[in-house]
Each structure stands twice: as structure tokens, then as C-alpha cells.
Amino acid sequence: MLNARQRYGAESESLAARLLRQRGYVILATNYRSPLGEIDIIARDRETLVFVEVKARRSAHFGDPKWAVTPRKQRTLSMAALCYLKATRQTQAKARFDVVSIRSAADPPQVEIIRNAFDLLYG
């Protein structure tokens, strides 16, 4: 059974996936787990493989959710993405990282999709 925080996270990821589909993304996987980290959504946007991190906040108290994708988080996502590319034999695929920022203090929630939010970061 999910606690309230986990439920909020799952609902936010579901909202993000729905909005990405409306924009033409094809969802390939959700909550992909590798030994090096988790990726919320993996999708295809035309010919590009997209690794999506979803960040949501119920209030503005801790700032805009997109700022929570720190360099450390970017490294973790990069390593998990490399695991996915290797596991699926797509190491030559065109890929990018998007961030979906959800602020649900307002009704309806404010959603921002940041395409190509950061570059592959590892090491």
C-alpha cells in the first residue's frame, strides 16, 4: 500500500505521462529501475529516445520543482539511461533528457515540460 507521498508521486507521474502522450510522445516504460538509478518515464519523441524526470511540489515553499534536478540527480539519471541504452542495445540512439515540473498548489496544476533539460553527465 502506498503512503500519501508515494500516491502523490504516482499521480504526478501519471499526469506527466498523459501530457507527454498528448504532445505526441510514445511512452515506452515507466519507473525503469537499473542498478544505478531509476528513470520515471522513458519515451520516444519522433526519432529521439527521451528520458524524463518528473518533479512535483504541492507548494512553492521549497521553490520550483525543476530546481530539484541537481547535478547529482543528473548524474544518477545519466547512469541509469546508459544502463537502459546498453540493455536495449540502443547505444547509438539519439537521446535527450526532459524534465516535467508540476506545481499543484494551483488548480489546475501548473505543468512545465523542459525539453533537453540537461546533457549526459557522468563521472
pTM for the whole thing?
Answer: 0.91
Q: Which of 52, 28, 58, 23 is nearest to 39 (CA)?
A: 52
Going by pLDDT thresholds of 50, 70 and 90, the confidence category of residue 122 is: low
Which pLDDT score is estimated for 4?
82
Average pLDDT, integer, range 108-120: 91
Domains and CATH numbers, the chain: 4-118 (3.40.1350.10)
H helices within 23-117, ranges in order? 71-87
Partners of 96 in the β-ladder: 50
